[in-house]
Structure 1
Amino acid sequence: MISHWIGVAAGKHVAIGVKDGFAMFAHGRHEAAKRVQPGDWVAYYSPREGMNEGAELRTFTALGQALPGDAAERQMLPGITGWYRRMRWLDARPADIYPLLDKFSFVKDRQHWGMYFRKSLFKVDAGDFALIADAMGVGTEFGSQP
């Protein structure tokens, strides 16, 4: 069964993954990369440009589907490795989170919506994911297979 995930990462980090065709979660932890399975869909939410630095983005910055194969290790920075998943990223535009907050089924308290995005990776239902895909302009591509 295909799952739908939101990963949370800095915009600069997401851009590297999109360019190179991969996704990392939870700072490269193995158990996070293993949770996402081939065929699963992932949307990245980026609170800022950099990790605890740079301009606030508060946008969904990438959307794609995990490709066949197992999670594997790769170098994140010199001397630092992490686990990743190969991805097929769609040509999606960034989408502001604010218009979506009142539509998400998992956001029960709009005033404290940020608490839902404190995890590095979390599962959402297909309806919530479709809202993100539509906002990113890839609603018609969402659902196709890798």
Structure 2
Amino acid sequence: MTKYWIGVASLNHVALGVAGGFSQLCHGKEAPLKKMKPGDWLVYYSPKQTLNTDEKCQSFTAIGRVKGSEIYPFAMSETFVPYRKDIDFFPDAKQVPLHTISQLEAWQKYRSSLRYGHFEIDKDFFLVLAERMGLPMKYES
């Protein structure tokens, strides 16, 4: 059964993942990646433009489908080896500002979950996000 997820990351980190075709969640932890199975969907929410600044983004910034089940370590430096999982991102996704959906009842039940960095959403809310991000219907099956 397909599941739908939101991952939280700064826009610059999301852009690296989209360009590289991977997801890296919760500062590189393996546990959230284990929850996502092939065929599941992931939508990224970016509260900030970059991790260590206060410049806000507050938008849904990427959408993609989990490609495989492999979770692998990736050495970004000698001291930082986060885990990743491959994602087939929709390359033409439009950013959707949070304020355009913040009044939706569906969002109200999820907004407090942002602090967890990764959480499951229901299909109906995913479809709202997918439609607003411009995901073609062929991707939804």
Secondary structure at the aligned position of 1:39 is classed as coil
Aligned residues of 1:49 and 1:57 also touching (Cα < 8 A):
yes
Find the aligned partners of 2:102 and 2:138 in 1 and give their Cα distance: 23
Alignment-mate amino acid for residue 57 of structure 1: C
Aligned residues of 2:11 and 2:46 also touching (Cα < 8 A):
yes
* Identity rate, percent: 29
Closer, same or farther: CA 124–10 of 1 in aligned 2, 3 Å: same
Find the aligned partners of 2:138 and 2:115 in 1 and give their Cα distance: 28
1:63 maps to: 63
1:56-95 Cα offsets, whole Å, 9 max, x none, are 0100110000102311111234531111110100020111
More displaced stretch, 39-48 vs 75-84:
75-84
The unaligned stretches of length 5 or more in structure 1 are none
CA root-mean-square deviation: 1.8
Secondary structure at the aligned position of 1:138 is classed as coil
Find the aligned partners of 1:108 and 1:42 in 2 and give their Cα distance: 18
Give how far 1:54 is off: 4.7
2:133 maps to: 136
Closer, same or farther: CA 10–26 of 1 in aligned 2, 3 Å: same
Find the aligned partners of 1:78 and 1:104 in 2 and give their Cα distance: 45
Closer, same or farther: CA 82–51 of 1 in aligned 2, 3 Å: same
The unaligned stretches of length 5 or more in structure 2 are none
Find the aligned partners of 1:101 and 1:25 in 2 and give their Cα distance: 23
Aligned residues of 1:130 and 1:139 also touching (Cα < 8 A):
no
The structure 1 segments of at least 4 consecutive aligned residues displaced by more than 3 Å after TM superposition are none
2:95 maps to: 94
Kindly tell me the number of residue pairs found equivalent between the two proteins. Answer: 140
TM-score computed with the length of structure 1 as normaliser: 0.87
Find the aligned partners of 1:106 and 1:97 in 2 and give their Cα distance: 9
The 5 Å alignment of 1:83-122 reads: 83-90=83-90, 91-108=92-109, 113=111, 115-122=112-119
2:33 corresponds to 1:33: yes
Aligned residues of 2:101 and 2:107 also touching (Cα < 8 A):
no
Secondary structure at the aligned position of 2:32 is classed as helix
Closer, same or farther: CA 5–104 of 1 in aligned 2, 3 Å: farther
